[in-house]
Amino acid sequence: MEAPRARSRDILVGAVVLGSVWGLVEVVLGGAMKSASIPYKGDLLTGLGIGIMAVAVALFRRSLPLLGIAVVAVALKQLAVPILHLPLMCKANSCLAVGLAGTALAGTSALAGRRLDRGILPRVATGASAALAGAVGFYFIGMQVAPCKYLLSFNHPGGFVAFLGAEGLIWTALGGLCFPAGYRLGLGLRSGLLDLPVRRPVIYYTASAAITALAWVAGGLAIAAGL
C-alpha cells in the first residue's frame, strides 16, 4: 500500500530535524577533518549534505523543503558567532556552499520529478548536476562574497576551468553517489514514517524535538570545544 501524503506541518518538522542533523555533521565532521588536515573536506560535506536532502526528497515528494533544510543547517553552523564571538562572515564560504547545495538540489529534483522513481540513472544525474551547479555558483559568488586564500588561487585566466578540475569534478562525483544513497534510505523510511504523526503523534513530535535539541546542543558544545 502506498504511503500517505505528508502534511505540511510534518514536512516542516522533518525539514528542521534533517537541517539540524546536516548542521551537526558540518560542525563535527567538518571540524574533525580540518583538525586532522584531511583534504577535500568541503567536497565530502557537500556530498553528505546532498545525501541528507535526498532523504527528504524521497520522504516528502517535494523540493521546496530543501531550502528550509539548508537554512537550518546554516543557522546551526552560525552558532560559532555568539559562542566564539566571531564576525558574522567568519563562516561565509561554508555557509554559502550549504545554501548553494540546497538551492541547486531543489531545482534539479523539481525538474526530475517522478523520474526519480524510474531507476538509478535519474537519481545519479540529479545529485551530480546539483553538485556541479553548486560548484559553479560557489566559484563565482564566493569570489565576490568571501574570497578565501584557496579560492583566490583560482582567480586568474583559466582559473574557473582549473577550479572545476580540482573541485567541481569531485563535488559532481560525490553528489552523484550520495543522492541515490540518501534517496534509497528515504524510500525505505517512507512507508513507516509518514503515517507516524497520525498514528503516534506524541512519539513523532517528541522524537523530532529530541533529535533537534540534541543536534543543536551537541553542535554548540563541539563549536565551544574548537571544532
Question: What is the rounded distance in angstroms from the CA atom of residue 6 to the CA atom of residue 4?
Answer: 6
Average pLDDT over the chain reads 91
pLDDT digits (tens, 9 = 90+) for 6-17: 788 889 999 999
Question: Contact, 25 vs 215, CB < 8 A?
Answer: no
Number of domains in the chain: 1
Q: In the predicted model, is pLDDT for residue 214 greater than 80?
A: yes
**What range does the domain containing 170 cover?**
8-224
pLDDT digits (tens, 9 = 90+) for 152-169: 889 888 999 999 998 899
Question: What is the rounded distance in angstroms from the CA atom of residue 101 to the CA atom of residue 43?
Answer: 11
Is pTM beyond 0.85 here? yes
Question: What is the rounded distance in angstroms from the CA atom of residue 8 to the CA atom of residue 146?
Answer: 35
Q: Fill in the amino acid letter for 211.
A: I
Does the residue 1 lie in any domain?
no
Does the residue 2 lie in any domain?
no
Q: Fill in the amino acid letter for 93.
A: N
Does the residue 3 lie in any domain?
no
Give me the torsion for CA of 68, 65, 25, 197, rounded to 10°: 110
Q: How far apart, in Å, are the Cα atoms of 119 and each of 113, 186, 190, 214? A: 12, 14, 17, 35
Name the percent of the chain lying above pLDDT 90: 70
